[in-house]
Chains A and B, each alone.
Chain A
C-alpha cells in the first residue's frame, strides 16, 4: 500500500507529473485501466457489484451452518457384532480378516481395527479429499470377499456416512404415567421413533441407548434336561424349527386366487413353551416348558443410559450425515419430533438432552456480533480520521460487500459457515479496509485545498486512484502470500484452520478486487464537497504529539535501538515460558463430563455409579438436565467401552445462574463435587471431545509402535524397549520417561479344555465349547416377527445354573453315552487377565511405547540415537517391526513443509519488497518488522496467559503480513521525505536528516495510524467477545493484536532511528544551518 504520490506541496499540478519513480502510475497497466473504466462506468460497476452481492447473499443464506468444521478423516467404519465374544476372539476371527482385506483397497491410507467384547470396529481411512461415497463403495466391494472368511452368522455392516462429530441431537424418553416399562420404551425407540427420525433428510442414523432390549429367553434347567436325556443342542434346533412363516403359492377357486400361507411365527411366550423337543418313552411329548422356563427378559447389554440420576432411561442419538447443514437437520428433526409427540403412548415424552442448534446459533451470533462490532469500530476509525462522511461511507460499504462476495466461493467449495470460517473474515476485516483507506486518503490528499468540479475533478480522482491502486494489490498480495503456511497444516489442525485460511484469503481478495472496481465507482459518486484533508484537529494534534517523539527518538537513536533490541531479547524467556496445548478450548455451551475408569467394570456397577454422578450433578442450580451414557449405543460411530461414561450436562441460560457464577467456576465446583475414586474426571465440550476421540493414533510427542502377530511378544518387546532407552548412555540422559503399554485390564475366566480328558468321555472340543457358548452365554436361535417389531430368542441355562463361579463349574456336558458330566471333568478353569481391547493397525496387532524426550535434544536426533540403541539392545523376533511415530512425525512433516514454506514465504515477501523498493537495505529494514511483530504477540499472549497452540501460530503467521505492510508504508514515507530533502539539497548534517525524518514521518501519520488502527481496533471486538467460539478466535486474534501493536510502535519510533543510521552515514553531526520548521 504505497501511495506513490508526494503530496505535501500544494504546488502539484496533475498527479502523474509528481510520481516518484517507483510508482506504477506512469504506465497504464490493466489495473489502472480497470480503475478508470469502473469510475467512468460507475452505473455498470454498481449494477455488477449489486448482482454479485445478491449472489453472495444467496450463498450466505444457503451456506450450511455448523459450529466448527468437521475435523474427521475420510473414514468408513465397518462394524461387526458378535455377541458375547471376548476381545481376542473378535480380533482373530473378525477384525483381522477384515483389516487384511481392506488394506488392498485403493486410496486407503491406513486401516485401524479395534476389537472389544462383542464388537469389532474397523476404520478404513482414506486419503484426504476422497469422496466419502466412493470410499464407501470401495469398502463394500472389498467387504464382499471378506465375509466368506468370517464365522457363520456374523454380518459386518458399514457404519453410517457420518462420524461421532455428527451427533447433533440427543433425546431421552420419559414416561410419566408409569404404564410403560423400560423394555416398552426401548421398543418404542427401536421400532417407531428411530425409523421416523432416520427418514428425516440429512440424518444418517438414529442410535438407541439404554433401557432394555426385549428378548425371549428360554432358561433351561439342566437337571430336567438331563432327566429327559435331551441335550441343549436339541433344544436349540427344535426352537429354530418352530419359528417360520411359509408361502404355498396359490390355489385357484372359482376363478379366484387364494394365497396359501403356512403360519408359524412365534408370537408369544406360550408359543415357545409348546415347542416339542421329542417324545418320551410313553409317547408323551416333551415340550420346552417341561425343561425350561420361557420369559421375556432383557438382552445382553453393553450400554446403559440415565436421566438426571432418576433411573435408567432410554435415549436416542441423532447422527447427522457427513457435510450436512447441522442447523437445518436439527430443525427438521425437531419438527418431526413435534409431529411424533401426538402419536406417542399417553404419558411418554421426548426430552431433548443435547441440541447442537443452540450452540451453532450462539456461535454464529457471536461471530456476527463481532463482525458487526468490528465494522462499526473500523468505520469509526475511518470516520474520525477522514472527517468526511461520504468518504467514510465508501470504505465502510466495501466491507459487507466483500464479505458477501467471499461467501460465493465458500459456498461452492462446500465450506460451512462456522466459527473458523467466519473467524477468517473477522481477522481480515482490519486489513480489508486498508485498500479503501489508502485510496481515499490519496484522493483526499489530491483534492485537498483544490476546488475542482466536473470532469477535472473526476479525472483527478481517477488519477489519484490509479496511483495507488496497483500498489494496493501488491500489498494485499503480500498479506495473502504470508498466510500460505497455514495451508501447509495437516490433519486435524489443517481441517480446523484451512477454512479460516480460505475465508481470509477470499475476503482479502474481494476487498482488493472491490478496491479497484467498486471504490473507484463510489469515489466518483461520493467524494464531493469540501475535503478538509488531514488538517482536522485530530490529525493536527497527532502530528503535534508525534513530531517531538520522533525527534527525540532520532536524537537518542542509540538508546532507542538498544531498547528495541533488549525488548526483542527479553521476549525469548517469555516465549519459552508459554505452555502448549493441543487445541484451545471451545465453549460449546453444554458440558460433556467424561469420567473414565479402568476397563473391566460391570454394567451394573457402571450404571450405579453413573446414577450417583448424575444425581450429584443435578443438584447444581445451573444444571437443566443431565443425561448419562455408559458404554455403547447402537451406533457404529460410538466405540465407547463400558468403562467410559459420557454425561451430557445441559445448562440453564446464564441469566438463571447463581450470582457471579462463571463457566470455569462452575466446572471447578462440579469437579470438586465429583471426585469419584478410580474415575478421573474429564470436562470437555461435546464436539471437541468427539473430534479428539476420532484421533486414535499416538498423541504423545514420540511413541514407538510395535507391530506383530502375538500380543505377549509385543508386550515383551515393549518392555525391553522401555528398559533399553532408560539404561543406555546414549539415550538415558535425554529420556524423561518411557512407558510401554501393558495388556491388562480385561478379566477372563478361561475354560482350558483338556483334550485327553475329553477324549475319555468321547467328547470333542466342539462338544464342550457348544456347552460353554450355549449354556453360559446363550445361543441366539432366531428372531420373532411381531408386526414391525423383532425380538431375539435366546436359549441358555437358567440363571441359578450360571450366575456364579461354582455354578459354572457344574455345567453339564452331555457325553455320547448319554451321561452328563460336569464341565470341570474335561476342562480346567483358570482366571486370567489380558487386554480388554485390542488394537490393530494395517492387519497387525499393535502396542505403543510412549517416550517423553527432554528438550535438550532435537527429536530427530533422539530418534536417530534411540533407533540404534533399540537395534543393539532389543531382540526383535522375526515378523515384528517397529515404527517411530507420534505427534513428532506430524511435527516433522509440518516442520519439513514449514522449513520450505516459511523461508520461501519470507523470500517471496523479500523478493517482492526488493522488486518494489529496489534496495536491499530498505528491504532488510522492512523485514525487521517481522521479529518485532513477534515481540508484541508473545508479550500479549503471556499477559493473557494463553498457551501456544496451532491457533496462536496461525495468528502469528497472519500478523507477519500485516507487520510487513506497516513497515513498508513507513519506509516509503521516510524515503520520500529523505529524497525530497536531498533533491532540494537540504541534507547536510545529521540535524538536517533528523528534520527530514521528522517531517516525513509526522506528515504521514494519518495513513499510518489509520491503517494501523484499523488493523488494531478491528481485532479488539474479538478480544472482548464472549460466548461460544470466542475462545478460539481470541487465540488467533491475540498474537495479531499484540503483533500489530508492537509493529506499529516499531515502525513509528524505531524505523526512523534505523533510517537515520542508514542515511546518516558520513554526515557530519552538526551544521550551523537551522533545521526546517
Chain B
C-alpha cells in the first residue's frame, strides 16, 4: 500500500546512503584500495634494482599516510622477500629533539611493500628507506617528504630511472637541482695541480751589514784632541778626518822616526829606517802622513785619525780631550748603503727556507712599501729561547730609509712546486676529518673525505681522496654538509 511503499523506499534510501557512505569513507583511507598505477610511480635505480616509491595520499598530511614501495629488477621481475626499513624523521629544532616516524613495511603483493607513517606535525619529514638488495648489496635511499607538499623527491642514494645517468651512486650522494643550488649560492672550483707558493711570515729586524761595519780603535793610549765626528749619526766619508789624538808614545815614535831619517840622511842604515816607518804604519799612520811628517820634520802632537770607510757614525765613546785607551772602540762607522734584515722563522717553516729564496719586506713605519729581496743566508742553529731559526736578507739602502733596529715583516715565498690542491673554502674541517663536496654533475654531489697537506694562499694541498680535474664545491658548503648529514644518516661525520 501507500504507507508500506513509502517505508520501503525510505528504508532502501537509508541503506544506500549508509552503504555508500561507508564505502566512501573506507575506500578513501582503506589499506587495500588500489594505489597509483605503476606508471605514475616515480622510479629510482639503486643497488641494481628499480625502486618505485609513492605515498597515499600523494600529498602527505599530518596523521596517517600510506607508503608504497615497489621493488623490481630492471627486467620487470618483482623482488620479493625484502625487509625494508623505512622511517620519516623531523630533525631537532633548538631544544626540541628530533622526532622519528617509522613505517612497518609489509609485502602486500609480490614486490609491493606497504606500510604507514604517522606524521605528528606539519613540516619536513625526510624519508629514509633502507634494505638489502637480493644480491646482498645494502641500499639506502633518502627522499624529501613534507606535509602538504605533493610527491616525493629523491634526495640521496639513487638516481631516477629515466634520468640520463643511471650510475650506481652510493648512498652518500645527494641530489640538488640547479635552482636550489643557486639559492644557497653553490660555487665550485677545481682540484688541480697548481704551483703552490707558501708565504712564510717572519718578524725581522734591520741590522747593519756586518761586513760594512768599522770600529775605530787606537793601538796606543792617548788623549783626544779635536773630535771632528762629534755626534752619533755624523755622516762620514772614507778618509775624512775623524778626530786628532795626542799620544806621548806616538809622539815619541814620530820623534824617533824623524831622528832615524836625519841619521840616514848622513850615512844611514836603510833597515833601521824601514823599521821605524813600519812602527808608525802599524799605529795606523798612513804613508802620506808619514811623508808629511818627514817633510815637516817636526813631530806632530795631535795626530789625525781618518775614517776607514764612508758611512755613518753610529757609536761614539770619546769626547774632546778625553783619554783614549789602547784597544778601546772609540767610534763605530757603519755603511748603511746596504743593510741586513735578520728574520725569525718558526721551526715548522724552517725546512722550506733556502738561501736564494724570494722574499718581500715590509716595514711597519713605511706602510705601503714592499721591498723585494732574497734570502742570503740561513743560520744553521735555532734560538733556544724562542725556538726560531734566523735567516738573513741583504737590502740595498741607497737613501737610508732602512734604519737599523727597525722592525720589518718579512714574507718569504716558499715555492712548494706543483701540488694537487683545492681552494681553501672547499675543505670542511669536521674534527679529525677533512671533507669536500665533489660535484658529479647533474646536480649530484658527493662528500669525500680527503687528507690535506699544506695550506697556502687560498689553497690547500690534497694528499689523498681527490684526483685532478674533480670539481669541488667552494661556497654553500655548510648547508650541503647539513643536507648530507640529515639525509644520509647521522653517523657519517
Contacts and interface: CB of A to CB of B under 8 A. Distances in A.
Contacts of A582: 120-121
A823 to B, nearest CB: 11
Contacts of B346: 810, 822, 824
Interface string A596-627: 11101110010011001000100000000000
Interface string A192-236: 000000000000000000000000000001011011000000000
B264 interface: no
Given A580-B120, A676-B184, A854 B104 contact: yes
Nearest to A615: B183
Interface residues of A, number: 97
Nearest to B63: A579
Nearest to B149: A671
B93 A939 contact: no
Contact of B94 (A223, A578, A640): A640
A683 B122 contact: yes
B215 interface: no
B109 interface: no
A852 B102 contact: yes
A578 B63 contact: yes
Contact of A742 (B18, B383, B431, B490): B490
Contacts of A815: 385
A497 interface: no
Interface in A559-614: 563, 567, 570, 573-574, 577-582, 585, 594, 596-598, 600-602, 605, 608-609, 612
Contacts of A616: 183
A832 B432 contact: yes
A65 B151 CA distance: 41
Contacts of A676: 180, 183-184, 479
Interface stretch (A67-75, A508-516, A688-696, A871-879): A688-696
Contacts of B120: 580-582
A671 B148 contact: yes
Given A567-B18, A612-B185, A737-B100, A679 B94 contact: no
A253 interface: no
A852 B100 contact: yes
A605 to B, nearest CB: 5
B98 interface: yes
B221 to A, nearest CB: 32
A154 interface: no
Contact of A580 (B118, B122, B180): B118
Contacts of A810: 201, 346
A832 B62 CA distance: 39
B364 A224 contact: yes
Interface residues of B, number: 83
Given A679-B482, A680-B486, A612 B183 contact: yes
B96 interface: yes
Interface stretch (B20-28, B39-47, B251-259): B20-28
Contacts of A737: 85, 87, 100, 102
B6 interface: yes
30 contacts: A227-B407, A548-B7, A579-B61, A581-B62, A582-B120, A596-B93, A598-B481, A600-B478, A609-B184, A612-B183, A641-B94, A668-B148, A668-B150, A677-B180, A677-B181, A678-B478, A678-B481, A678-B482, A681-B123, A692-B96, A693-B95, A695-B96, A699-B97, A737-B102, A741-B97, A747-B431, A831-B429, A833-B430, A939-B21, A945-B61
Given A675-B180, A831-B429, 5 more contacts: A574-B25, A605-B479, A677-B181, A680-B486, A682-B122
A609 B483 CA distance: 14
A700 interface: yes
A776 B51 CA distance: 52
Contacts of A552: 7, 10-11
Given A548-B6, A677-B174, A597 B478 contact: yes
B407 A223 contact: yes
Interface of A: 114, 221, 223-224, 226-227, 548-549, 551-552, 556, 563, 567, 570, 573-574, 577-582, 585, 594, 596-598, 600-602, 605, 608-609, 612, 616, 639-641, 644, 664, 667-668, 671-672, 675-684, 692-693, 695-696, 698-700, 736-737, 739, 741-742, 744, 747-749, 805-806, 809-810, 815, 817, 819-822, 824-825, 830-833, 837, 839, 848, 850, 852, 854, 939, 942-943, 945, 947
Contact of B148 (A667, A736, A748, A824): A667
B353 interface: no
Contacts of B493: 833
Interface string B88-110: 00111111111111101000000
A288 to B, nearest CB: 15
Contacts of A700: 97, 99-100
Contacts of A748: 431
Nearest to B95: A696
A699 B99 contact: yes
Most buried by A among B11, B383, B478, B491: B478
Contacts of A221: 364
B176 interface: yes
Contacts of A574: 25-26
Contacts of B95: 114, 639, 693, 696, 837, 839
Given A640-B94, A668-B149, A696-B96, A681 B480 contact: no
Interface in B402-460: 407, 409, 429-432, 455
Contacts of B94: 596, 639-641, 644, 693
A581 B180 contact: no
B158 to A, nearest CB: 17
B29 interface: yes
A680 B64 contact: no
A14 B62 CA distance: 61
A929 B462 CA distance: 77
Contacts of B364: 221, 223-224
B3 interface: yes
